[in-house]
A and B are shown apart, each in its own frame.
Chain A
Amino acid sequence: MPGQLPATRPVLPADRVSLVDLLDRVLARGVVVSGELTLTIADIDLVHLSLRALLSSVRPDLFGPDPGADGG
């Protein structure tokens, strides 16, 4: 496949990042574009809103270990 990147094992311990920190970034931030998407932006915003509620009602069982100063 043209442009395919060489495969490798993960080089960063992404599984050690706290889930709260991670979801707050990948769902609330990052580039948002419109266009020929399969999912409307409103759908994601809804997920994010319900997630906010979930995150604020702290569910420790849902969150991964927090390595402290290690964002990946």
Chain B
Amino acid sequence: MTEQHATWVYAVVPAFAPVPAVPSGIAGEPVRLVEHGGIAAAVGSVDRAEVGEEQLPRHLRDPQWLERTARRHHRVVSTLAHGLPTVPFRLATVYHQDGGVRQMLARTRQPLLTALDTVTSRAEWGVQVYASTVRQPSPADPVAGEPAGPGTTYLLRQRAQRDQREQERRRIGEAVRQIEAALDRLAVAGSAQPLTGADPSSAGGSLVLNLSYLVDDRTRDEFVAATQRLAGRFAGLRLRVTGPWPAYSFVQIEAAP
């Protein structure tokens, strides 16, 4: 490539495999393969004005640029993953030239082959559990028991609130155990993710469980059916299932220096 362009990496796929038709990349550029040692990086040549070392940090902080680029990056990765084993690369993995990509493939060949093996005929599913917000007892609520003085009423109410929170905590804990037990056995791997990235449309509920599962194509229908069954089982809890995703969460590899 010319000095004007840098090489943006989307994913790594097996070399010599039939490649599905892929949409254009983050800057509208054609996506092509850089091969080395039986594996291939799906890359695009992108103008340095978009992704140069000076421009990229600034662009990443621009919400519009970030959204557009993330969606186009994902569009390429998910199209590849639809047709062949695909190891997704993190957004903004950019090399000065194709040569840097080849060196990376050579240096990281073994972990990448292992990752390709892990994701073959499998997809990622996201399972989030939201708990509806627990209503706090109001002073107008009747307190169980005989009429009592204001001090006693206050203490009883405090205790009732504490008991309710504890009950709620146990109920959610039990539901989470049941959900994990039911899904773990239908997945190849599962990983708990941080409780961030809550779905903004779930206002009023709080994210209590954020899981990613790697599911084999053979158990996929069973997995989806299980999430649907679980969705209706627990009062006050909502399951949000997303997928199939490329295996973004199951390709952590230790790159050799």
Binding site for B on A (CB under 8 A): 1-12, 14-15, 17-27, 29-39, 43-44, 47, 50-52, 54-56, 58-60, 62-64, 66, 68-72
Contacts and interface: CB of A to CB of B under 8 A. Distances in A.
Given A7-B30, A12-B75, A39-B92, A21 B60 contact: no
B220 interface: no
A59 B67 CA distance: 14
A7 B23 CA distance: 6
Given A10-B75, A72-B78, A5 B33 contact: yes
Given A23-B197, A30-B251, A39-B56, 7 more contacts: A8-B21, A14-B71, A17-B242, A18-B242, A26-B73, A38-B52, A71-B126
B242 A70 contact: yes
A35 B227 CA distance: 41
Interface in B81-133: 82, 87-96, 99-100, 103-104, 107-108, 112, 115, 124-126
If over half of A's interface residues share one DSSP class (helix, strand or loop), that class is named, otherwise mixed; here it is loop
Contacts of B31: 4-5
B34 A31 contact: no
A10 to B, nearest CB: 4
26 contacts: A8-B23, A11-B21, A12-B75, A14-B72, A14-B75, A21-B197, A25-B245, A29-B251, A31-B115, A31-B252, A32-B255, A35-B100, A35-B255, A36-B104, A38-B56, A39-B53, A43-B56, A44-B60, A47-B61, A55-B197, A56-B198, A60-B201, A62-B63, A71-B244, A72-B74, A72-B78
B78 A21 contact: no
Interface in B9-42: 12, 19-24, 30-35, 40, 42
A1 B71 contact: no
If over half of B's interface residues share one DSSP class (helix, strand or loop), that class is named, otherwise mixed; here it is mixed
Contacts, number: 207
Contact of A30 (B33, B56, B91): B91
B49 interface: no
Nearest to A54: B63
B200 interface: yes
Given A37-B95, A62-B63, A7 B255 contact: no
Give 5 nearest A-B pairs by CB, closest first: A8-B21, A36-B100, A30-B90, A14-B75, A25-B248
B32 A69 contact: no
Contact of B126 (A12, A21, A47, A63): A21
Interface in B170-224: 193, 196-201, 203, 224
A15 B71 contact: yes
A27 to B, nearest CB: 6
B51 interface: yes
